């Protein structure tokens, strides 16, 4: 029997949890169909997480693409179907349109499996990032370098800790629902070992009675703890935190059954959400909002 999981019509980091609620009780070899026919919009996190989801399944899942031509066409331009073809049984042909050209797609969904991929991604995004950050978000041109550094460090998290490849995507859009401003969003998702298991490989560290996904995220994201004994490790996430703080952005990292967030004043998310539906690996989202001129 195939379990049908309906993908929310607006798919982002929050609504993706609805997908996971339906997915979590199912064994990895259960047959599933992800029904995205009625999806009208997806964030880069939503698209990268869908690919990640397929990687967690022992049996290749089926996927019904969005029926709305505009949506399907956008997903194609974002690179979703190019990768989904090898991970899902696609139920009908996906829209075949040009791969790039949409100004809001700063970086189409890109696999990250090795250090060279990070060089490639950073090299590709620099010029476009400057145009978007400075031109659309009113952020200082100097911030472009910091943005690329943030992207680089986020991608390296996959290479250093996931134990398998992952995905990165960058997009800018107007976030009407929650912010009413333009934002640029980096999504980095993998289906690897996750933060808790990664930190458990550091035998030298003592852990208290409480040790779970939430604690592992606190250790790694807030305190800069790494599985490596090298004292220089853990600076990447610290650098991401600084950049996000400087530009009043938001950082959220989900791993296992928990999600931790550096929450800016414009958002009402909780700093730590626990007992979420279990999902392998780590999923990171970085949101940088448009600057509002001081009055």
Partner 1 sequence: MINHIDVSVVLRGTVCDLYSNLVTRPTGAAVRAEIEQQLAELGGRTLTVIDFTHVGLLDFSCADEIVAKLLLKYCDSAEGSRPRVDGARGEGYFVFRGINDSHLDAIEAVLEHHGLALVVDRGEEGAQLVGTVGDGERRAWETVHQLGAADAEELADAAGMSPDDANRLLDTLCRRRLLMRLDDVYVPIGIRR
- Catalog residues that contact partner 1 under the rule CB under 8 A: 115-116, 118-119, 122-123, 126, 142, 145-146, 148-149, 152-153, 156, 159-160, 231-232, 235-236, 238-239, 242
Closest contact distance (angstroms) between CB of 252 and partner 1 is 20
Residues forming a β-bridge with 287 = 185, 250
**Is 33 or 238 the residue whose CB approaches partner 1 more closely?**
238
Alpha helices (runs of H) in the chain, residue ranges in sequence order: 16-23, 44-55, 69-77, 80-84, 115-130, 143-157, 194-200, 213-217, 235-246
Q: How far is the CB of 197 from partner 1 (least distance, A)?
A: 20
Which CB, 214 or 236, lies closer to partner 1? 236
- Rounded Cα distance between 236 and 91, Å, is 40
| Spatial separation of the C-alpha atoms in residues 57 and 84, rounded to whole Å | 13
Compute the C-alpha angle 124/228/159, nearest 5°.
25
Min. distance of Cβ 294 from partner 1 in angstroms? Answer: 23
Q: Is 224 left (phi over 0), alpha (psi -120 to 50) or beta?
A: left
CA 288 to chain centre: 14
Nearer to partner 1, 161 or 259 (CB): 161
Shortest distance in whole angstroms from residue 112 CB to partner 1: 11
Q: Which residue, 33 or 222, has its beta carbon nearer to partner 1?
A: 222
Whichever of 5 and 155 has its CB closer to partner 1, that residue is 155
Separation of alpha carbons 45 and 187, rounded Å: 5
Helix (H, G, I), strand (E, B) or coil at 78: coil
At closest approach, how far in Å is the CB of 280 from partner 1? 24
- Report strand pairing: 258-262 vs 181-190: unpaired
Give 37 or 241: the residue with its C-beta nearer to partner 1: 241
State the nearest-atom distance from the C-beta of 233 to partner 1, in Å.
8
């Amino acid at each position: 029997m195939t379990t049908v999981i309906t993908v929310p019509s607006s798919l982002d980091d929050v609504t993706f949890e609805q997908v996971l609620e339906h997915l979590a009780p199912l064994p990895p070899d259960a047959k599933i169909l992800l029904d995205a026919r009625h999806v009208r919009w997806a964030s880069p996190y939503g698209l990268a997480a869908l690919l990640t989801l397929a990687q967690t399944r022992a049996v290749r899942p089926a996927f019904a693409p969005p029926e709305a031509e505009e949506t399907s066409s956008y997903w194609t331009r974002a690179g979703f179907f190019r990768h989904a073809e090898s991970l899902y049984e696609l139920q009908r042909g996906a829209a075949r349109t040009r791969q790039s050209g949409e100004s809001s797609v700063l970086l189409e969904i890109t696999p990250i499996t090795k250090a060279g991929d990070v060089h490639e991604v950073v090299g590709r995004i620099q010029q476009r990032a400057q145009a978007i950050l400075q031109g659309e978000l009113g952020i200082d041109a100097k911030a472009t370098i910091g943005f690329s550094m943030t992207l680089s460090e986020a991608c390296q998290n996959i290479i250093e800790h996931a134990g398998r490849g992952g995905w990165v995507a960058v997009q800018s859009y107007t976030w009407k629902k929650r912010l009413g401003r333009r934002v640029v969003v980096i999504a980095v998702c993998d289906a690897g070992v996750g933060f808790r298991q990664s930190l458990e490989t550091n035998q030298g560290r003592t852990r208290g009675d409480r040790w779970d996904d939430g604690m592992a995220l606190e250790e790694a994201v807030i305190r800069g703890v790494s599985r490596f004994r090298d004292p220089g490790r853990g600076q990447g996430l610290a650098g991401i935190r600084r950049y996000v703080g400087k530009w009043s952005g938001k950082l959220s990292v989900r791993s296992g059954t928990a999600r931790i967030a550096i929450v800016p004043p414009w958002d009402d998310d909780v700093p730590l959400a626990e007992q979420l539906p279990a999902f392998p690996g780590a999923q990171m989202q970085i949101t940088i909002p448009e600057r509002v001129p001081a009055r």
